Chains A and B, each alone.
Chain A
Amino acid sequence: MQLTREEERILSGEQGWANQTCMKILVRLGELFGAEKLIPITSAHVSGISYKTLGDAPIEYLKAMADANAEVKVKTTLNPQSLDPEYLIRKLPIELRNKQLKILKQFDRMGMTESLTCTPYYLGKLRRGSHMAWAESSAVVYANSVLGAWTNREGGPSALAAAIIGKTPDYGIHKAENRQPNCLVHVKTDLRNETEYGALGIHLGRLLRDKIPIIQGLQKDNDRLKQLSAAIATTGMTNMFKAGSTTERKKTETVEIESNDLKRTIEELNTASNKKPDLVFIGCPHCSYAEMEKTAQLVKGKKVKQGIELWVCTSCHVKEAATDAVKQIEKSGGHVLAGVCTVVSWTEKLGIRTIMTNSAKTAYYAPTLSKADAILAPMEECLKTALQG
């Protein structure tokens, strides 16, 4: 790799251990993937925040980094944590809370704004064509495909290294030639709701592995495309898709999706379609402002049933902006949780055995990560199940 003089100096340790380690990570990864240089990034998004998914191992590393004065060079956001500061913090054991706080403290010392969301793109407009280093696969696919900002799928540690240096190795999807679609997906059925977009993603992720598809038959509905992004990244290595028109010329590889493919995928994700859910969960990925409003509309004048919990998860920024919707949801007995979601929290410790959700990603992970059965259905149906009156 061709490094600038300043980059060489950082690599030799002139700016201390933390910067040297981060530079080593970027250079070695760059070499591994055939990058010729490092390029500046406009933002970083770091995953691996929840104590549930991290465990104790990373705390020492993060602390050592912060002790060695590591500091972010670009705007850096964080993925959700394992609890929210209002509701779950009171329901979960104090030692878990303390461990989580210890992790957050290290990120805070390094200058990372405590955004704690999987949808950092709602925090500010991204510039089309700008380079970023984001972890959190659902946000990576959404940024590349819907917002036109460019990022590889980083892991937690490499996104952190990019944040500290302010650069990322120039390989993969940072290069225009690697952003060209190389297969055509023809959806031959109407996609009726966000759940079917999610099911399409789960199915395509498995089929396409790391290919970049042009997908015909998608609506221009960003909240639905968000479900597709999250799901396609759950089962595959695809980092972007392109919404295409029906006039698209044929690619060498064409995949046809029939209504049966979606039906089968939804059936497979539904591990408990006849059970009563303990938890109805909206907000994977975190709710947009529009989804908060829609949820509030649907719960208006109704009450959450006894024995069921309703969680609506979003970032603290969207929660603050959507005050009326939050009030409405809470009035109905639902909980608006900021900075957390079921996948990275301890629902199993709260006695939750069945989760109903409109998110295919959550349904996919529920049996393994949450030790729960899943019921997958559109938002309207989820809320109908949760509410009476």
Chain B
Amino acid sequence: MKPVTLKGRVIVEGHCQAEALVSLKPISFLGGVDPADGKIIERKHDLCGMCIKDKILCFPHGHGSTVGSYVLYSLAKKGLAPKAIVNQTADPVVVVGAIIANVPMIDQVDIKKIRTGDTVEVDACKGLAKILRRRET
């Protein structure tokens, strides 16, 4: 397939390529992600039980306590952080978390175009998300 390029805004610079994990629900890192294994534990969340480690984590925006920023740092220290974060609208909790955890991040991306399992390249220096390959069905 021809790569699909989605334009966004740079929040934290970086460059990487990985499998996408996409949610259409906001994520609260405090209480919503287990800091011990990187799995989403918020009940009724569409990603409940999924691990965010090494994924291009795409979700609309964060919510919940500002302690969530520290959770992202802690995940990164344990090697459990996502490779990159792609948001629809960045919010302070996730922005601060991505900065201190040094996780590449872009926002203002139409995340509905990306599907879980797609191979995505994030150029967080230019603010681009490229869908390289669609998930094999």
Complex: A56 Cα to B67 Cα, angstroms? 11
Complex: A53 Cα to B67 Cα, angstroms? 8
Which residue of chain B has its CB nearest to the CB of A156? Answer: B66
The interface residues of chain B lying within 8 Å CB-to-CB of A157 are 66, 69-70, 96, 100
The interface residues of chain B lying within 8 Å CB-to-CB of A21 are 99-100
A34 nearest CB across to chain B (Å): 13
A94 within 8 A of B: no
B36 nearest CB across to chain A (Å): 9
B11 within 8 A of A: yes
B94 nearest CB across to chain A (Å): 11
Given contacts A28-B11, A55-B35, A56-B35, contact A61 B70 (CB under 8 A): yes
Given contacts A25-B96, A28-B95, A29-B95, contact A60 B67 (CB under 8 A): no
For the complex, would chain B's binding face be called helix, strand, loop or mixed by DSSP majority? helix
Please encode chain B, from 47 to 78, with 1 for each CB lying within 8 Å of some chain A CB and 0 for all others. 00000000000000000011101110110010
Question: What's the tally of chain A residues with a CB closer than 8 Å to chain B?
Answer: 22
The interface residues of chain B lying within 8 Å CB-to-CB of A61 are 70, 73-74, 100
B81 within 8 A of A: no
Given contacts A61-B73, A158-B92, contact A25 B100 (CB under 8 A): yes
The interface residues of chain A lying within 8 Å CB-to-CB of B69 are 155-157
Given contacts A61-B70, A157-B70, contact A53 B92 (CB under 8 A): no
A239 nearest CB across to chain B (Å): 14
Complex: A155 Cα to B65 Cα, angstroms? 8
On whether the beta carbons of A60 and B11 are closer than 8 Å, the reply is no
Given contacts A21-B99, A21-B100, contact A58 B66 (CB under 8 A): no
On whether the beta carbons of A55 and B100 are closer than 8 Å, the reply is no
A64 nearest CB across to chain B (Å): 8
B71 nearest CB across to chain A (Å): 5
On whether the beta carbons of B96 and A32 are closer than 8 Å, the reply is no
Complex: A155 Cα to B77 Cα, angstroms? 22
A54 within 8 A of B: yes
The interface residues of chain A lying within 8 Å CB-to-CB of B74 are 56-58, 60-61
Complex: A158 Cα to B99 Cα, angstroms? 11
A254 nearest CB across to chain B (Å): 31
The interface residues of chain B lying within 8 Å CB-to-CB of A158 are 66, 92, 96
Could you tell me which residues of chain A, from 34 to 88, have a CB within 8 Å of some CB in chain B?
A: 47-48, 53-58, 60-61
A135 within 8 A of B: yes
B128 within 8 A of A: no
B120 within 8 A of A: no
For the complex, would chain A's binding face be called helix, strand, loop or mixed by DSSP majority? helix
On whether the beta carbons of A60 and B96 are closer than 8 Å, the reply is no
On whether the beta carbons of B100 and A29 are closer than 8 Å, the reply is no
On whether the beta carbons of A60 and B35 are closer than 8 Å, the reply is no
Complex: A32 Cα to B106 Cα, angstroms? 12
The interface residues of chain A lying within 8 Å CB-to-CB of B40 are none
A179 within 8 A of B: no
A105 within 8 A of B: no
Which residue of chain B has its CB nearest to the CB of A28? Answer: B95
Complex: A21 Cα to B70 Cα, angstroms? 13
Which residue of chain A has its CB nearest to the CB of B35? Answer: A57
B90 within 8 A of A: yes
On whether the beta carbons of A60 and B90 are closer than 8 Å, the reply is no
The interface residues of chain B lying within 8 Å CB-to-CB of A28 are 11-12, 95-96, 99
Which residue of chain A has its CB nearest to the CB of B93? Answer: A155
Most chain A Cβ neighbours within 10 Å, of B90, B92, B99: B99
A24 within 8 A of B: yes
On whether the beta carbons of B99 and A60 are closer than 8 Å, the reply is no
On whether the beta carbons of B95 and A57 are closer than 8 Å, the reply is no
Complex: A60 Cα to B92 Cα, angstroms? 20
- Could you say which of A29, A53, A60, A161 contacts B65, with CB atoms under 8 Å apart? A53
Please encode chain A, from 151 to 165, with 1 for each CB lying within 8 Å of some chain B CB and 0 for all others. 000011110010000
The interface residues of chain B lying within 8 Å CB-to-CB of A47 are 66
- Could you say which of B65, B67, B90 contacts A32, with CB atoms under 8 Å apart? B90
Chain B residues within 8 Å of A, Cβ to Cβ: 11-12, 30, 35, 65-67, 69-71, 73-74, 77, 90, 92-93, 95-96, 99-100
Would you give 22 A-B contacts (Cβ < 8 Å), ordered by A?
A21-B100, A25-B99, A25-B100, A28-B12, A48-B67, A48-B70, A53-B67, A55-B35, A56-B35, A56-B74, A57-B35, A57-B70, A57-B74, A58-B67, A58-B73, A60-B73, A60-B77, A61-B70, A155-B66, A155-B93, A157-B100, A161-B96
* Given A55-B35, A57-B30, 12 other A-B residues pairs in contact with their CB atoms under 8 A: A25-B99, A28-B96, A28-B99, A32-B92, A54-B67, A55-B30, A56-B74, A57-B67, A60-B77, A155-B69, A155-B96, A156-B69
Q: Which 7 A-B pairs have the closest CB atoms?
A: A155-B66, A58-B70, A57-B74, A57-B71, A61-B73, A57-B70, A157-B69
